[in-house]
Structure 1
Amino acid sequence: MSLPDQRPRRELYWMSRMPHTDVTALAAQEPVGDITWVPSSYRRPVKRFIEAGALAWVNGLEEQPPASYDWVTTLELCSLVTGQASRWRRGSRVRQAVVTWENLSHQPLYRIPPYKQALDSARDADLFLCMIDAARNHMIDNGFPDHRIRVVKPGVDTRVFTPAAEPTDDPVVVFCSPLAPNKGIDRVLDAMRLVRKRVPEAELVVAGNGPLRGLVERAAADPGTGVRLAGQLDAHGVADLLANAAVFCTAPRPTWKWTEQFGLAYIEAQACGIPVVTTRCGTNDEAVQPPNVLVEDDPEALAAALVTQLTDRDLRLRIGAANRERMIAEHDLATQCARMGEAFADIEAQDRP
């Protein structure tokens, strides 16, 4: 069961890549992958964005016969569709899985009805599939049984996200993320103004959309800023942009109910063989490991790290090569999707006589 704001090529797509698995998705938009799509609308008490669409119920679940399925899977413990799934499968043989990235042990949404009701309804799920190590810690802190928790880190398609045949010599920085305050495009713009005092030819290419798009458009309208807005790109467009950049940069900072959990853009950039410079936030150190650079939430610290990378080609190439090697070893998409399948199969095996 999808959420109304669920992004493509993520959880649904990964499950569709699990070996020997057929996925039927109740979703608002047609999902990417070999998936049977049931077009579904949503009931939403409010229209504004709330925690990845968690405050929404999907229509049409009651029309799906439980006898046709082995599992029902939803995203996040506090989403209302998780509570729906728990009620729908009750009394049937259908197992329930909940996929979670949550890394806040004291997530404030858990104290607010109806999020708390969804959380409590998830307690009898069969599998809790954590996409980061911190999610397992958060679940144990909230009283969930460890024997039903499995951690499988997300994968990246290393055939799509691959280094350029010839690394660029141009000082191009890429920001590829939602244009929202929590992802820090404003910090990156401030840092780039400082970078250009040291590296006048440095450029910033911004891919994405969001509430701060106007801020980027105004910067891009001034030729003296070196800022270019690439807009919303598909996976292949993002891969091409990253492969032809020198450095990837974001600057996330926490909100009252969120802190950076992992960041798929980080592993996409590393798979393309470029270094990452970002702010230390939440548990993004699970994705951004040395020799990549995590700094404090400060434009000057960001700028200093970017200048180091942009002016030392040999350093960039060494970091980029190490990044590519680690992505293949630890985050190859096919391998990680198979491991997801193993997590489901492991729970099934526990129930066999």
Structure 2
Amino acid sequence: MTRELLWVSLPDQRPRRELYYMSLMGDTHVTALARDEPVGDLTWVPSTYRRPIKRFIEAGALAWVNELRDQDPAEFDWVASLELCSLVTGQASRWRRRGTGRKPLQAVVTWENLARQPIYKVPPYRQALESCRDAELLLCMVDAARDHLLENRFDDAVIRVVKPGVDTAIFTPASAPVERPVVAFVSPLAENKGIDRILEAMALVRRQVPEAELVVAGRGPLEPLVRAAADDPASGVTLVGGLDAAGVADLLRGAAVFTTAPRPTWKWEEQFGLAYVEAQACGLPVVTTRCGSNHEALAPGNDLLDVEGADQVEALAAQLVAWLTDPARRAEQGALNRAWVTEHHDLRTQCRRMGDAFSEMERLHGVRS
């Protein structure tokens, strides 16, 4: 019997993430309420949002989806959404109780790793959080998300942790070792992702490895900073903009090392970092700064720097130089990284495990047995 799942998207939700995972779980038909046409084998209901202000992105959006009211709860086994504090999650909690027929179970997917997330104190987000108290499944993408739930007094019996996966058929190593000293940065061009620190570090790297290059993929508020560097022929910086999955994989296969340098904000710390896993699947070593729970995305042997303050840029540069000048070590770590991703983060395997979490809760509640 096919599981019928209604996914309620955030207005700014990223493609090939949580909704895509749900569509790959197996024995599941997903109906997705979303503004933009999503990727995956699913039914798309084009949706609009009531959004008084656009202050936060992703889960912090002050937005409600209009088309949820047109859906009949009795037609679905599950309703699912992203993050406990998102207002669409609060909507889904209320919607599933509507009417007198069968009521779907509720699942909430969460990456949140801050137990004391500040926006939990803001009334509408706090109300959404409290509406999840009787959800049947809280699906955590990182171990730190489970810890955050427990600290907020959620029942461990409904919590399951399944780490995200990447498509290991798309993200594959280069057919031959990369000899050019190319460093790849694939991430939003924003202060919290640290592109400014990477640009500074690369200037130091080029003092020791003059032919070193930095290829930057992404868009964001610091794009003018990166573009200015790319316009200087002496910088070794190339900006390629936003890329799809195949484009990112091609970029990574042409690089020798992957790097970012995240820093926390008042309401965010790095939760995981799928770009790390994609880079490791392509056989690249990773150099990054410790932030939040990004250690969960790294295989042993990569560089997770604890240096803070004025010495951080120098530390990043030193580790990048170490990898760029040691091809044998790069090859050894690259092979270890690829094997680790294949074992722990293969997309199809992880989506099947997510489906197992749904099935377990269905058995407990006598649904689809």
Tell me if the contact between 1:4 and 1:53 (Cα under 8 Å) persists in the aligned partners: no
Tell me, yes or no, if structure 1 residue 347 matches structure 2 residue 357: no
Q: What pairs up with 1:227-306 in 2 under 5 angstroms? A: 227-295=237-305, 296-297=307-308, 298-306=312-320
Give the direction of change, closer, same or farther, for the CA distance of 1:6–1:51 in structure 2 (3 Å limit): closer
Residue aligning to 2:41 = 34
Tell me, yes or no, if structure 1 residue 21 matches structure 2 residue 35: no
Residue 194 of structure 1 aligns with an amino acid whose one-letter code is L
> How far does residue 51 in structure 1 lie from its aligned partner after superposition?
4.8
Task: Give secondary structure in 1 for the equivalent of 2:133.
Answer: helix
> How far does residue 194 in structure 1 lie from its aligned partner after superposition?
0.5
Residue aligning to 2:5 = none
Return the TM-score normalized by structure 2: 0.94
> How far does residue 52 in structure 1 lie from its aligned partner after superposition?
4.2
Tell me if the contact between 2:32 and 2:43 (Cα under 8 Å) persists in the aligned partners: yes
> How far does residue 40 in structure 1 lie from its aligned partner after superposition?
0.5
Which sits farther off after the overlay, 284-293 or 125-134?
A: 284-293
Q: What pairs up with 1:21-170 in 2 under 5 angstroms? A: 21-90=28-97, 92-170=102-180
Q: After superposition, what is the alpha-carbon deviation per residue over 1:251-298, rounded to whole angstroms, capped at 9, x for unaligned?
A: 000000000010000000000011000001011000123200011241
Supply the distance in 1 between the matched residues of 2:86 and 2:352 (Cα, whole angstroms).
26
Tell me if the contact between 2:284 and 2:330 (Cα under 8 Å) persists in the aligned partners: yes
Task: Give secondary structure in 2 for the equivalent of 1:163.
Answer: coil
Tell me, yes or no, if structure 1 residue 308 matches structure 2 residue 326: no
Report the RMSD for the aligned CA atoms in angstroms: 1.0
**1:5 aligned to which of 3, 6, 12:** 12
Tell me if the contact between 2:299 and 2:340 (Cα under 8 Å) persists in the aligned partners: no
Tell me if the contact between 1:271 and 1:323 (Cα under 8 Å) persists in the aligned partners: yes
> How far does residue 53 in structure 1 lie from its aligned partner after superposition?
4.8
Task: Give secondary structure in 2 for the equivalent of 1:224.
Answer: coil
Return the TM-score normalized by structure 1: 0.98
Supply the distance in 2 between the matched residues of 1:228 and 1:49 (Cα, whole angstroms).
30
> How far does residue 59 in structure 1 lie from its aligned partner after superposition?
1.1
Task: Give secondary structure in 2 for the equivalent of 1:99.
Answer: strand
Identity %: 68
Tell me if the contact between 1:155 and 1:334 (Cα under 8 Å) persists in the aligned partners: yes
Give the direction of change, closer, same or farther, for the CA distance of 1:173–1:288 in structure 2 (3 Å limit): same
> How far does residue 50 in structure 1 lie from its aligned partner after superposition?
3.5
Tell me if the contact between 2:11 and 2:58 (Cα under 8 Å) persists in the aligned partners: no
